Amino acid sequence: MSEDKKKLLVVEDDMILQKALQEFLTAEGFEIFTASDGEAGITAAKEKMPDLVLLDIILPKKDGYEVLAALKKDEKTKQIPIILLTNLGSLNDVEKAIELGATTYLVKSDYKLQEVAKKIKETLKMI
Amino acid sequence: MFINDLDVKKQAEYLGVSLWRTPSFLFILMGIIIGVVMILVYYLFKNYNSPEALILSEVVIVIVLMSIGSFIIRNVEEMAKINKMKSEFISITSHQLKTPLSEINWEIELLLARNIEGMNQKQLEIINNVADSSNRMTRLVSDLLDVTRMDQGKFFLEIECVDIGNSIREVVKNNQFLATNKNIEIKLNFPEELSMVSADKKKIMIVIDNLLSNAIKYMNESGKVEIMAEEKGEQLVVSVKDNGMGIPKYQQEKVFQKFFRSDNVGRYQTMGTGLGLYISKNIIEQSGGKIWFESEENEGSTFYFSLSKTAA
């Protein structure tokens, strides 16, 4: 019995971080799609319908908040859990994200790749 | 805020301006000037009984009020602007510094987790050292940002019902490796059923972790750390007791200051950021509790903190 691999969309403009997430999470058993800017992120989410989106905030073209708002407004994508993965960390940033519908908010430099993977698995089990 | 706190000198220090520019001082000055002018008007009026004198003095009062008033407003606006700039600077710097740090940390994690084939012992050792240094730097940046937010009054707690027993157990689990390496026993001494407390779960764990890792750090090989939790009326008091090097008496009043390091700690013991206790004190006090300690050099220290029990 083999379950279908869960699909993750990683929206991150820093290529080193994007590749690191891709390599690590692929080895953890996920199927990874990537996008390097906000607009590409929105398009990819609507096309690929991932099980979860990892979303950075500072992005070219459209920022993470705009992506978040767009995905939550669209009937097709609004149920997809979105984890904000960013280095901004003030209360305003977090509040704004939760208000816009983010499932949770992680500060990149506080989390190891292993811990990010754990959060993703926890979030997916809850759905 | 400015009107309530009439400690003008403290306010000047905090705002970083000279004494005569602090809003409190200016308000007081304005009050005094109004008082003096009113007294003068009264005497003028009594002695001269002339409408001209009255009008003149009224005009003077109005001019004085408006000048000082607008000066105060301009000052306060400028300070608000500077504060806003400080916040934005922190936000931008935090993002800028944390990005390369995240890159380094994740790349090393990838290397160690999945790419160590063919690496010899020496190379592994070097990489592990790099990882340790990078982790330390990351924690320092995080701590500095926390401290800046605290100083700016922008460090907020999410208060909820916290099971302190569980938090303690989790922190102990995270520190077990370090303790075992140094042959240090961690003993938990509190009942299974503890009252819940009102606190920010994540931040309280930072406090407990700080106290426990300090205890372990400042102990030489082998020894015992005992963690206790006692119900004392409306409060829950947690204590972390070690039999390590203790803190010299003459330094004890500085313990909670930023970057404090006691003298009896070797120069090689630079693992921490020196901000842990400052941050812990801030967290506990903002949660409505108290933090204190007892210490005897060469015998050990016991650190205590109290939190309010959640009303049933």
Query: Which of these three, B40, B66, B84, is where a domain ends?
Result: B84
Six-digit token pair at A62? Answer: 């459209």
Tokens of B126: 């070097």
Q: What is the pLDDT of residue B109?
A: 93
Residue-level pLDDT at B4: 46
Strands (E), A15-68: 31-35, 52-55
Q: Is residue B269 part of a domain?
A: yes
CATH top class, domain A12-112: alpha beta
Domain residue ranges in chain A: 12-112
Q: Which residues contact B45 (CB under 8 A, 6 or more apart)?
A: B53, B54
Is residue B11 scored above 70 in pLDDT? no
Measured in angstroms, the CA of A30 and the nearest CA of chain B are apart by 16
- Tokens 């908010």, residue located: A105
**pLDDT beyond 50 at B2:** no
Set of chain B residues whose Cβ sits within 8 Å of the Cβ of A24: 106, 109-110, 113-114
Question: Does B106 have pLDDT greater than 70?
Answer: yes
Q: Say whether pLDDT at B173 is over 80.
A: yes
Other C-beta atoms closer than 10 Å to the C-beta of B237 total: 17
Tell me, what's the ipTM?
0.91
Residue type, B18: S
Residue B200 · residue B158 · CB < 8 Å = yes
Same domain, B70 and B189: no
CA–CA separation, A6 and A15 (whole Å): 22
Stretch B91-97: mean pLDDT: 78
pLDDT above 50 for B127: yes
Instruction: Residue B113: list chain A partners with CB under 8 A.
Output: 24, 113-114
What CATH number did the domain enclosing B174 receive? 3.30.565.10
Interchain contact, B113 vs A114, CB within 8 Å: yes
Which domain, by its residues, includes B72? Answer: 8-84
Is B239's pLDDT higher than 50?
yes
A113 touches chain B (CB under 8 A): yes
pLDDT-derived band of residue B55, with 50, 70 and 90 as boundaries? confident
Distance CA B109, CA B225 (A): 31
Rounded to 5 degrees, φ, ψ at B188 are -100, 130
| DSSP-based three-state secondary structure for B290 | coil
Q: Is the pLDDT of residue A1 over 50?
A: no
Instruction: Say yes or no to pLDDT of B162 above 70.
Output: yes
Q: Indicate if the pLDDT at residue B1 is higher than 50.
A: no
Instruction: Report how many domains make up chain B.
Output: 2
Q: Is residue B193 part of a domain?
A: yes
* Residue B302 sits in the same domain as residue B164: yes
Average pLDDT over residues B180-203: 90
Q: Compute how many other C-beta atoms are within 10 angstroms of the C-beta atom of residue B43.
A: 10
Boundary residue ending a domain (B32, B49, B84): B84
pLDDT digits (tens, 9 = 90+) for A68-126: 999 999 999 999 999 999 887 676 788 888 899 999 888 898 899 999 999 999 999 85
Question: Beta strands of B28-73 (E only): which ranges?
Answer: none
Based on the fold, state whether residues B167 and B294 are members of the same structural domain.
Answer: yes
pTM above 0.80, yes or no: no
- Asked if B175 and B302 sit in the same domain, the reply is yes
Average pLDDT, chain A: 91
The b-or-e profile of B203-231 (16+ CB within 10 A means b, else e) is bbbbbbbbbbbbbbbbbeeebbbbbbbee
Residue B242 forms beta bridges with which residues? Answer: B225
Q: Is residue B93 part of a domain?
A: no
**End position of a domain, from candidates B56, B84, B112:** B84
